[in-house]
Each structure stands twice: as structure tokens, then as C-alpha cells.
Amino acid sequence: METAELVFLPSLAVGHLVSTLKFITQFLDRDHRFSATILLMKPPFALTPTPGNSDPPPPTSTPRIRYIHLPCPPDPPPIQILHKSPENYFSLYVESYKSLVKNAVVDLVVPVAGLVLDVFCTSMIDVGDELGINSYIFLTSGAGFLGFMFHLEARDRLVGVEFDKSEADSTIPCFTHSVPMGALPQFAFNGDGGFSSMAKQARKLKESKGIIINTFAELHQPSVWSSLSEDGIPPIYTVGPVLDLKSENRPTPDEKQSREIKGWLDNQPPSSVVFLCFGSWGCFSQPQVMEIANGLESSGVRFLWSLRSPPPPHKQLEPPSDYADVDDVLPEGFRERVNGKGRVCGWVRQVDILAHRAIGGFVSHCGWNSILESIWHAVPLAAWPQYAEQQINAFELVRELGLAVEMKIDYHRDCGYLVSSDQIDRAVRCLIDGDDAEEMRKRMKEASEKSREALVHGGSSYTSFGNLIDNMVATFL
């Protein structure tokens, strides 16, 4: 086969972009017959430059990648839709790029073997069909969330209305336990386009030639794979964990802060520190910050807390930033009282912290990249989901897999619920010295070993990756 091009259309969300870039480099390292073009859409609104949301640097180790920055779409959706449903807005925004994506693909002077699309970009399957090009989905979430997406689509098709929070716990085929309504993503209840737009995405998934998932087969329960083997669902390829362990696609944090944190961690006992970090969009209200601080102090547990500042009210569409002075939002004298046992910091490279021997627990928002990084480094989690699909991820970790303790999963933060200092105290204690801490640590270590075994020659993800390449080659010739 002559060299063929794969055209990638990733989401602009940081978590999606980082894992997509790493997957591309791994794909091209695996098979030198392919090269890649990455089409980058403009953000739908101006973002203030901050760690994690700038244009990605080209991976220096893989020269067969080129970037095409697409212009603004000719007819974007009204911004008012965003306030009713972010999911619907971003779906419509991507759809407004159809003509620009088609033109960019047509202008390529090399044969295109396939379009590889983010889950929010399924409308571009129509472009592939029009050009006679196969489309694949790269899912940056887990297989459990994919199973939930198909359940959502079935409800839309059979019932035709969104979920209601007053309903009883839901039976979802991919899970063995009933799922509380509060553990479903917020968009499942959104009658202003959130529910219907995600159901539409799920229907479009079935039109792809295959779904590539950033996970490994051994992580999920058999019920997940059973639900994904039903008629009408395209082939599933597990290729994970796809991890940016060397932070190749992440910006450099404050070097002075990084040196100080490393020095402090080096002086802590092994597996004694709880790390709190909530992703590129994770931040809390002032009352919630006070509850976290009081819970950490009363627990007596060693901790490292990455604390970010919410954007001001007139810039709600911008990501969090570091505080100029964290003492302005912490209880008076807090840092002096926990001095030596706890540290509060700004943005850090999460995966670097999780790799340190001193880290014994991770309080996380349960974004999928964070989950995989935690599993890779065998660090048990306390699940505290914030937005998007994180509720479902947290439910699977806590109730199905036993790899996390529950901070709070049966709630939606937009409803004004405060996680209390007592809940925080209890969860961080459970991570370090709770009755089940040793057993959970053992389960996490086993999951970590399986995640690494999946990637080596003969492992489940290595084999599935090969099957994906074989499929692409066979359908392209």
C-alpha cells in the first residue's frame, strides 16, 4: 500500500486533544505507511491563553503530522444556545464546519484512508460518506460511557423524552448495578437540546466503520462488552491506555513551584499524600473551598491540593486560572496550621505528581484521562465528578469496579449542593488508612498491571490496535 493519510478532527476540549495527539503519534509509530493531517477548528469563543488550551505543538518525534487551522465557520449557531445546553451548542458548532472540513479534505493531494473523528464530531460522517471515505470515532472516554450513550439513544427512540430526576434508579444494560438519577450526566435531563443532541451523536456513532476507545478490555465488566456487541453497533477497538506520560503535549508549569513540590514530596513517606486535582476546568465556589480546607485540616492526612480560581462573572466561558494569593480564599491561618503536612499549589502536571512514590490517593473529578493516569500509577481514587460524563465514570469506578471511594457521585453541582467538610474528611481518610484501603490498593495495583500488559506485544490493546490497522488497510485498498 502506498502511504495514505488519516484525517483527524479532534474536539477542542483539552482532555480530548491531549489523548488524541498521543494516539496519533502511537498510530504513526506503529505503522509507517500512514501519515496524519489534523484539522483544528477555531474555538467558538475567545479563550484567554492558559496552561492546556493553547494550540498544540507538533510532536517532534513524529514528522509525518501536519496541522491545518480551519477558519471560523460561515454560519455558527447563536451563542444563546450555549446557555441552554453546551452539548447541543458544540454539536451544532461542529456541524457548521461541514463545508470547511469537506474543502480541506478535498484539497489534500494524497489518498485519504479514513476520517478519525471526536465523539462530538459525528456529523462529519456525512462528509466522509459524500467523499467516499470511511469514518472512525476516537472516543476519549471509557467503554462504560459508550454503553450509556447507546442506552440514551434507545430511550430517545423508544420513549422520546429526557430523563427526570424524580425517576427511580435506572437499569442500564452495560452496568450490573442500578444507576441513581443523580449519577447520570446533567445533559440526560436537559430538554433544551442536551438530551436530544447526545442521542443524535449516539445514532451517528452507529454509522461509523469502527469506534476506537481509549481504554483496555480488562478494565470493564463483562456487562459493558455484552451491551456493545449488540446488532447495529460497529466494531469496537480498545487501544488504551493512551497516556501522555511525558507531558509532551502539555505546557510547562511554573518551574520554581514544581521544584518546591518535588522537594516536599521527596520528604514524605511512601503512599502517604492525598493529591487533589480537578482537571483543566475544575474550580470551586468560595464556600466549597472552605469546606475542602476544613475537611483536609480535620483529617490530619498529608495532602497536595491544586487549587484554581473561577473566572469572573463576565468571563464565565473562560477556564480557571491560578490565584494571585490563595490565602484570600482559604480559612485564616490555614496554611500555617497545616504547614509541613499539606501544600496548596496552582496548576501542576497531574501525571508527574501521580507518578511520585509519596502519592497514596487521588481526589479527582473523574475525567477519563485522570482515571487512566491514576490506574497506570496504581493510585486509588476518591470520586468527585464535576461535569460532562464524569458522573458515569465515577459511578463505574465506585460501584462497578471498586477502584475508588465515593466523595459524592449522586448529585449535580449546578444545583448548589455543597460537599461538606465531614464528607471530605471521611473520604481522604479512607484513601490512606480506611478499613478497605489495603484491599482497594490491591485492586488498583492489579488494574495497573493489566493496563500495562494490555499494551505489550500480544496484549489485548496491542492486538486490537493491530486489528484496527488491518481493517483500515483492507477497506482502503
Domains and CATH numbers, the chain: 4-240+454-476 (3.40.50.2000), 255-451 (3.40.50.2000)
Q: What is the pLDDT of residue 250?
A: 58
Angle between helices 368-376 and 437-453 (to 10 degrees): 100
Q: Give dist(CA 453, CA 459) in Å, integer.
A: 6
Model pLDDT, residue 62: 61
CA distances from 103 to 90, 91, 115, 144, 213 (A): 21, 20, 14, 35, 28
Residue 176: all three cell numbers together: 450490573
pLDDT at 251: 58
For the stretch 101-110, contacts whose Cβ atoms lie closer than 8 Å and that sit 24 or more positions apart, written own/partner, are 101/9, 101/39, 101/70, 101/127, 102/127, 102/130, 102/131, 104/7, 104/39, 104/68, 104/70, 105/7, 105/131, 105/133, 106/131, 108/5, 108/7, 108/37, 110/3, 110/4, 110/5, 110/35
Q: Classify strands 308-309 and 321-322 as parallel, antiparallel or unpaired.
A: antiparallel
pLDDT at 249: 57
Query: What does the longest C-alpha to C-alpha distance in the chain come to?
Result: 68
Residue count (the chain): 477
Q: Which residues contact 422 (CB under 8 A, 6 or more apart)?
A: 295
Task: Give dist(CA 252, CA 366) in Å, integer.
Answer: 23
Question: What are φ and ψ of residue 303, in 5° steps?
Answer: -150, 155
- Residue numbers in the chain where pLDDT is lower than 50: 46-60
Report phi then psi at 58, rounded to 5: -60, 130
**How far is it, in rounded angstroms, from Cα 47 to Cα 41?**
13
**pLDDT digits 0-9 by tens, 453-469:** 999 999 999 999 999 99
What is the dihedral sign for C-alpha 128, 134, 140, 142? positive
If phi > 0 it is left, if psi is from -120 to 50 it is alpha, else beta; for residue 76 that is beta
Closest-CA residue to 275 (of 348, 218, 225): 348
**pLDDT at residue number 215:** 98
pLDDT at 15: 76
Amino acid identity at 285: S
The β-bridge partners of 383 are 364, 406
